[in-house]
Amino acid sequence: MSHGLLLAPALVVGVAHGEWDGPANGDRLSNVQVIKDGALAWGDGVVTWAGPAGDLPPEVGDVRQATRVKGAILPGFVDCHTHVPFFGWRANEFEARLAGLTYRDLHGGGGIYRSARLLAGASDEEVMRFCRPLVDEMLAHGTTAIELKTGYGLSVEAELRQARLARRLAREVSQTASVTLLACHAVPEGRTREAWVDEVCHELIPRAAAEGLADAVDVYVEDIAFTVADLARVAETARANGLAVRCHADQLGHSGAAEAAVGAGSRSADHLNHIGPAGIEALAGNDQTVAVLLPVSTLFLRAEPPPVADMLTAGVAVALATDFNPGTSPCLSVPEVIAVAASLYRLPTLTAIGAATFNAAWVLGLQERLGSLTLGKRADFVVLDTPDPAMIAYRPGHNPVLETWIGGQRVSSRGPWTD
Ligand SMILES: [Zn+2]
């Protein structure tokens, strides 16, 4: 089994567990612990010690025999919002937007419908061959746990197929992966919204749950998609089938989805570009629904940034994720997301690290095992090429992750990591 001991010039333990439950907000999130000259030890793939090297108990290890790495050690990134598995890119839609069209303009013929056609036209093996290298690339950028979503099926059978592909991908890659059924992503062509929500609730969710294909159900609430009433109904069905709830909320316009997500017991409200004061108040006043910020899609769509400063001041727990998808965020790098969040949302780096680790794990219900380097959690961590975590935000376009480890095993490396 895997045992090890590393010394690092800086050890970012992550969000400290305290006398509280739920995701981290306020000081709990911003006071991410950084230990200068830290030591990280693990046994059987689980953290047995994380603290100052000078305090390492002799029974845990001998610092003289430990490997000293040259960069900071951080908890592995948890990407709690992606649209993998998908098939094919949509670069020409991006070019069309550069020429003046909007995402709404493209929604009918392109967008989600186009990704659904591309997925339908590919064999299972083609989809796996397309997705596996992407998930490996995520590993090289430090992502040790991911969310996978459906939503490019747009029929009961095609959604079930995409969920099975997601489960298969989860088995074949190194990361921990959780699967979300985003059946309510777009209204299938030739159907009414009501009829599709009926079918999702009566047939798709029960079948996906019975086959063990999903961990959560997500609803895209938007004027071009679904309503807050649909969210409430799908959430009730999800819960009745033992599944968690997620929500794409207030991205393209204000719909009151953030407060509806809190009301529906959702684990997250994602995007939030157009959240209003009531949404901020609802998110701040609960310890269950996390605000998942997706700054690269904001940049990519040139959208209005959400009022992040107001959210943080109010005490909203925030997570950060890539929203990796071929339409609105073809970026799979969490370090890049942290860099964009810094410049676009003014999110300090340590807050961003807590948001992309502990709170993101909370969104996926994995916070007991993952999301910080605390005693008893799995030894999922990254080694940077710099002792200073602030370099992540400072150098967009640069991958600062030298090594990625999962369960105390090295799973990705790109160069010398010791002096
Ligand atoms: Zn999304």
How do the pLDDT tens digits run along the chain, 419 residues long? Answer: 479 999 999 999 999 776 677 899 999 998 888 999 999 999 999 999 999 999 999 999 998 989 999 999 999 999 999 999 999 999 998 998 899 888 777 666 678 999 999 999 999 999 999 999 999 999 999 999 999 999 999 999 999 999 999 999 999 999 999 999 999 999 999 999 999 999 999 999 999 999 999 999 999 999 999 999 999 999 999 999 999 999 999 999 999 999 999 999 999 999 999 999 999 999 999 999 999 999 999 999 999 999 999 999 999 999 999 999 999 999 999 999 999 999 999 999 999 999 999 999 999 999 999 999 999 999 999 999 999 999 999 999 999 999 999 999 999 998 777 77
Q: 323 CA distance to ligand 1 centroid (A)? A: 5
Say what the pLDDT of residue 16 is: 79
Q: 267 CA distance to ligand 1 centroid (A)? A: 14
CA 419 – CA 397 distance, rounded (Å)? 24
Q: Name 6's bridge partners.
A: 40, 67
The angle, 0 to 180 degrees and rounded to 10, between the axes of the packed helices 124-140 and 156-172 is 50
Query: What residue has token string 């993952």?
Result: 370
Say what the pLDDT of residue 223 is: 92
Q: 24 CA distance to ligand 1 centroid (A)? A: 22
Q: 351 CA distance to ligand 1 centroid (A)? A: 22
Q: 248 CA distance to ligand 1 centroid (A)? A: 6
Check whether domain 78-363 has CATH 3.20.20.140, yes or no: yes
Q: 194 CA distance to ligand 1 centroid (A)? A: 22
Domain boundary assignment for the chain: 3-75+369-413, 78-363
Say what the pLDDT of residue 140 is: 98
* Nearest to 255, CA basis, from 268, 239, 271, 243: 271
Say what the pLDDT of residue 101 is: 83
Say what the pLDDT of residue 107 is: 66
- How many CB atoms neighbour CB 168 within 10 A? 15
Among 2.30.40.10, 2.60.120.10, 3.40.50.720, 3.40.640.10, what is the CATH number of 3-75+369-413?
A: 2.30.40.10
* Beta-strand pair 67-68/3-14: parallel
* Nearest to 361, CA basis, from 334, 388, 341: 334
The CA angle 319-323-326, to the nearest 5 degrees, is 175
The angle, 0 to 180 degrees and rounded to 10, between the axes of the packed helices 111-120 and 156-172 is 70
The CA angle 18-333-306, to the nearest 5 degrees, is 65
Q: 10 CA distance to ligand 1 centroid (A)? A: 33
Q: 415 CA distance to ligand 1 centroid (A)? A: 33
**CB 7 within 8 Å of CB 63:** yes
Q: 112 CA distance to ligand 1 centroid (A)? A: 11
HSE-up of residue 250 (Cα within 13 Å, Cβ side): 27
Q: 270 CA distance to ligand 1 centroid (A)? A: 7
Q: Within 200-333, where are the H helices?
A: 205-210, 228-240, 257-263, 277-284, 295-301, 308-314
**CB 216 within 8 Å of CB 243:** yes
Q: 233 CA distance to ligand 1 centroid (A)? A: 20
Q: At a CB cut-off of 8 Å and minimum separation 6, what does 270 contact?
A: 81, 246, 247, 248, 249, 251, 291, 292, 294, 321, 323
Q: 278 CA distance to ligand 1 centroid (A)? A: 22
Say what the pLDDT of residue 19 is: 63
Say what the pLDDT of residue 269 is: 98
